[in-house]
Chain A
């Protein structure tokens, strides 16, 4: 007897084995046979875009996503989410904990998925209008109410700790723009980057490039945020594993670097009175 408890999906259809209602004989993703056609014939990035967007993508779209995935795959061990994963890895914790740490830290508003999400919302609001961007980059909040997310402290998609645009950001923007529609966000960003940087006062960040690419892929801010989180995990994973092998003795211990201002010093407890000798 079937259960009253059902989930609804427009993505996934499963047909059961005749012998077991809990085992799938065939699965279909947006109508395509997963085991019969998608796995043998599609690329990983075609499948990813199919899952997110619902239709078989154009070759140009899956190539843009593949190259974006490569841009994002490893932010390197200096980046906060990777450092979080390394902190997990060096102590030999669960692999899931390392990736959860990377996801939690990589979700943030400085270089993380929340920044990408806000940036993608600004693309919806500002489009390709420099004047609107010039205003909204300094006022990215939806309204004045407090939220679980703190107010943005910098222009989304730009790096307030930067001096000039790093070469990999420029290379990635230029390369990805060449794969994207000529009237799209990446192309416009490439053409107007210097003007926007002058307005903001600091350089474009990779989060800004990623947001434009995700907009060009036709994704909304929720989809873009999810992909950004996922696509940066390979670097977190390998650096967590590497630190496990490297060992804790080579891992920085910041204890001596932390200075407590106004240290009260050792606490003098009231000692019990001693009997006179």
Chain B
């Protein structure tokens, strides 16, 4: 390989995604932003920007519910806690929200479990397409030491979002999809065999598979999904006295490290 292909894009970038012809018009995925897409709800437009196609009213309505259903204005939730800390030290709104959004790409919650859960269902689907049994696939994943994202929830035994999400899927005519059934079957097996609960990451991912999102599209779609819950947490801490959001006293740092020692002393 070499640098030579860089010469092609040093001063010229060809794209099919879109362009802003300033003072004239804006094109997004072959459509005029203001005239052809101007009546879209913003989230529907966001899906259009990701996919380059109209995903459909019912699909957009269901996916919109993912965001609504994860907008928890509770500062004990870690991304929200970050925004509250930004509020208590009087950082700016954008910095607070971007910090909260970026930490949502976590391993215990948020983007990694979502992506891994969707990937799990697609791989399970291929396994079944090749003649395998779903439960055998689950057991193989488990015996490989892999976390079954979407099953089990660290801080709670059940997930209040699941019945509402399934109800919304049914309302939208999306309650009978292959992957949703798969998610429920996996849960039935894991609950009966290991006592695992299911969290909404499994249901959301399965429905995302049913509407045809790939892992990268799903990651992009979910990235801002906690943001409406972060805003009140930022405001709340911002409106209280500086530094007053759960202040930590010195003795609340429980130290378990080395004893006091002399910088110049022997090790």
Contacts and interface: CB of A to CB of B under 8 A. Distances in A.
Nearest to A202: B1
A269 B253 contact: no
A269 B92 CA distance: 41
Contacts of A56: 263, 267
Contact of A262 (B12, B30, B36, B248): B30
28 contacts: A5-B252, A6-B253, A6-B254, A7-B252, A8-B254, A9-B256, A10-B256, A10-B257, A13-B257, A14-B253, A22-B250, A24-B250, A31-B259, A31-B261, A54-B257, A104-B102, A148-B112, A162-B1, A162-B3, A163-B2, A163-B3, A255-B20, A255-B22, A258-B19, A260-B18, A260-B27, A261-B16, A269-B35
A257 interface: yes
B2 A7 contact: no
A201 B247 contact: no
A145 B146 CA distance: 10
Contacts of A254: 13
Nearest to B257: A10
Contacts, number: 163
Contacts of B14: 259, 261
B2 A259 contact: no
Given A55-B267, A161-B6, A7 B253 contact: yes
A38 B22 CA distance: 56
B30 A264 contact: yes
A97 B94 contact: yes
Interface in B237-265: 246-264
A3 interface: yes
A192 interface: no
Question: For this complex, into which size category does the number of interface residues on chain A fall?
Answer: 35 or more
Contacts of A5: 246, 248, 252
At the interface, is chain A mostly helix, strand, loop or mixed?
loop
A97 to B, nearest CB: 7
Given A31-B257, A161-B6, A3 B249 contact: yes
The 8 closest A-B pairs by CB, nearest first: A267-B32, A31-B258, A10-B257, A146-B119, A16-B250, A37-B263, A14-B250, A21-B249
A100 B98 contact: yes
Interface in A145-180: 145-148, 150, 160-163
A248 interface: no
A38 to B, nearest CB: 6
A42 interface: yes
B95 A97 contact: yes
Contacts of B230: none
